[in-house]
Amino acid sequence: MKIYTKSGDKGTTSLVYGERVAKHDSRVEAYGTCDEANSLIGLALSYIKEEADQHGEIEMIFHKIQTTIFHVGAELATPAGKEVKWKVDAQDIQWLESVIDSWDQQLPALTNFILPGGSKAGATLHLARTVVRRAERRTVLIESVNPLVLSYLNRLSDFLFVAGRYVNHLLKITETTLHQDKLRK
N- to C-terminal Cα separation, the chain: 62
pLDDT classification of 52: cutoffs 50, 70, 90: confident
State the pLDDT at residue 84.
87
Looking at this protein, which amino acid is placed at residue 114?
I
State the pLDDT at residue 64.
97
d(CA 128, CA 35): 10
Residues in contact with 54: Cβ distance below 8 Å, sequence separation at least 6, in sequence order: none
* Model pLDDT for residues 109-162, shown as the tens digit of each residue: 888 788 788 999 999 999 999 999 999 999 999 988 999 999 999 999 999 999
What is the CATH architecture assignment of 12-183? Up-down Bundle (1.20)
Domain ranges of the chain: 12-183
State the pLDDT at residue 68.
97
Contact 30, 69 (CB under 8 A): no
**How far out from the chain centre does Cα 59 lie?**
15
